[in-house]
A and B are shown apart, each in its own frame.
Chain A
Amino acid sequence: ETGVTQSPTHLIKTRGQQVTLRCSSQSGHNTVSWYQQALGQGPQFIFQYYREEENGRGNFPPRFSGLQFPNYSSELNVNALELDDSALYLCASSSGEGLPYFGPGTRLLVL
């Protein structure tokens, strides 16, 4: 196991709702990145946080936002959920530019 944990494991929401996903990084890691993996696709980079600041963002709209806390844990918030937001959301932690280690993911279903 990598030591990266995510909650919840599964979630069902309806269109228009808001969701918050959580991630605890591996001990000693100060960087957290979030990915969205739709069925049959590879993970797509959403954004990355380093020492509580966003330092990289993929092609996702502003309704995808995040936070990183002083203990380096992180949240991903998605507002105004759409059906296409249904996916596995993966959090990965790393130390600076080291290799990322993934958590088990949160499976989100939007109805």
Chain B
Amino acid sequence: RKEVEQDPGPFNVPEGATVAFNCTYSNSASQSFFWYRQDCRKEPKLLMSVYSSGNEDGRFTAQLNRASQYISLLIRDSKLSDSATYLCVVIDPGTYKYIFGTGTRLKVLA
């Protein structure tokens, strides 16, 4: 089983739609999780951290489910500018390495 797994997509959604991505992780001792956004041919940029209690930043909500070992990202009222690849990141608790998923590609259609 991969350390961090994501559905590669693409997820094609109309403007204004709500879309959710999940990311599963294999190490139950993992404590720190993040979502990064990567635009085509650009570097990844931090979108948001994922806290145990869940957190919200405008249209974006991140949640953690420790029992099932997954994190999620919910995007409400999708905009064309949300089209990108969303990378799930888990910090390995033993080595502190950042382990990236393969990313989920989102296309928001007009």
Residues of A within 8 A of B (CB): 2, 33, 35, 40-45, 48, 56, 58, 90, 97, 99-105, 107
- In the complex the two chains form, what is the Cα distance from A101 to B41 in whole Å? 16
In this complex, how many residues of chain B approach chain A with their Cβ under 8 Å: the count is 20
Contact A42 B87 (CB under 8 A): yes
Interchain CB contact under 8 A, B98 and A33: yes
Nearest CB in chain A to that of B6: its residue: A42
Measured in the bound complex, the distance between the Cα atoms of B84 and A84 in whole Å is: 25
Number of A-B contacts (CB under 8 A): 43
Q: Which residues of B contact A (CB under 8 A)?
A: 4, 6, 8, 34, 41-46, 87, 95-103
Is the pair B96, A43 in contact by a Cβ cutoff of 8 Å?
no
Which of A33, A45, A102 contacts B44 (CB under 8 A)?
A102
Cβ-defined contact, B96 with A45, below 8 A: no
Query: How long is the Cα–Cα vector from A104 to B40 in the complex, in angstroms?
Result: 12
A45 touches B97 (CB 8 A): yes
A102 CA / B34 CA spacing, docked (Å): 14
**Contact A45–B98 (Cβ < 8 Å):** yes
* A97 touching B96, Cβ below 8 Å: yes
